[in-house]
Structure 1
């Protein structure tokens, strides 16, 4: 996987990574950028560094560290933090967690591979107070608000991108998405859930599975377990994933979300998430910006069957 960055963004990430490396005592050597969507993920030898910045990132990283310990307590297959480093790492406004590199077979995992780790995760009986309550629409709304408070240079670039690639002034785009967020949140209290609430991964797609182990715990929360089944069902409808492979997961997990009363609403929430998740962080990432623009154009047109592309 590769990520295209402008030189300015690449230099800024390198500066943050070097601060984290020195603070954590990580070895010198080549750092390979594996991906950059919300976090920049680097491999350095046998370590993987997830790098972000800001107060929200620090709070999220602290929850991730505590959540990882909970998963290991319940023997949930998951990747491991580097136990020799005090975590999370905070230096200036940069925040990082450092993980043991987990080798995995080439190729994308299949949906059925998520069944066992999700079953183990959903068997956790605790409701730990350090985990936030599931609030997917609120998260989207915060990103929308932050977009309009970006530094002047980034905001100007985002306004140009919105006008040229999305076909709508940025303020109108934000207002439209905020209205959709408000509408979806109003519908949530009346939703009927089939599964008991509990600890959820929050973003359980096959891209967050490494050698049959869960990774990327930024969205750990207490909420409806149906939410962890949304990415796979949504992948069939939005990313042209194979229906037969999804049905193998259904047979292994023993529940088909598409039969649930909550599914239409959850699908809409997932659409909103995937059209807002990087809106406040597009600067210097042309491929991500192009992919998001197409998602937004079809979403705003009400085209529920348009196939989307995943970020690279």
Structure 2
């Protein structure tokens, strides 16, 4: 199945399709009014998609909430002077139900027990880190292909990765000689106020070397130097490693997005974590 399409509705940006079986309102344009809510619901009905997922400023949330959207996560100060809300609309009960809730709660409690303990940020001398450029896209796509069976965006496509870099997404990579063994990215919001820390991948043969922690620290420093204050991530709720990484890094748990994302072969719930950095 091909990946979902990035589209413009009114002036806002959405991702839509059967791959994630959802509509994701990625960026709500300031000039778009409450009628966009009905537009999205009508599109979901027309395409028979089971979920609508929206990231919106708190001041724009009322039309969504009054139309049946539920608040699943809150990121304080995501937008300049106001919180960001992650809202979900479920067209079918099965999409909302969580059979694995107890297991996901355990992952979260383990992660939260490590709160603020810090991540190793120095790499072994055999490894080196640098910003990734378009000429690294093939190596990066190959790493992602080895790491994820499926992913919500086409990150195994070098052309897509080049487009992301050209659009301002910052990728960091860790090399062992000429081989890329770890990568992550910071996706900067259009208003320049927040960044999503995402696309973490470490070669299975290079785990336990502090690579993810070093990547996170490097991206945080890069964002902070650019004046970006709000950092957040949407992490696989089933992963002890990625949730512990952010908890150790002093991120706060913001909420869980149920059955949200097609990753590693099936729809998975995702945890949102955030940190506010005084620049």
Higher helix share: 1
Q: Give the number of the structure whose alpha-carbon radius of gyration is greater.
A: 1
TM-score normalised by the chain length of structure 2: 0.31
Quick check: which one's strand share is greater?
2
Larger RCO (CA within 8 A; separation ≥ 6) = 1
Structure 1 length normalisation: TM-score? Answer: 0.29
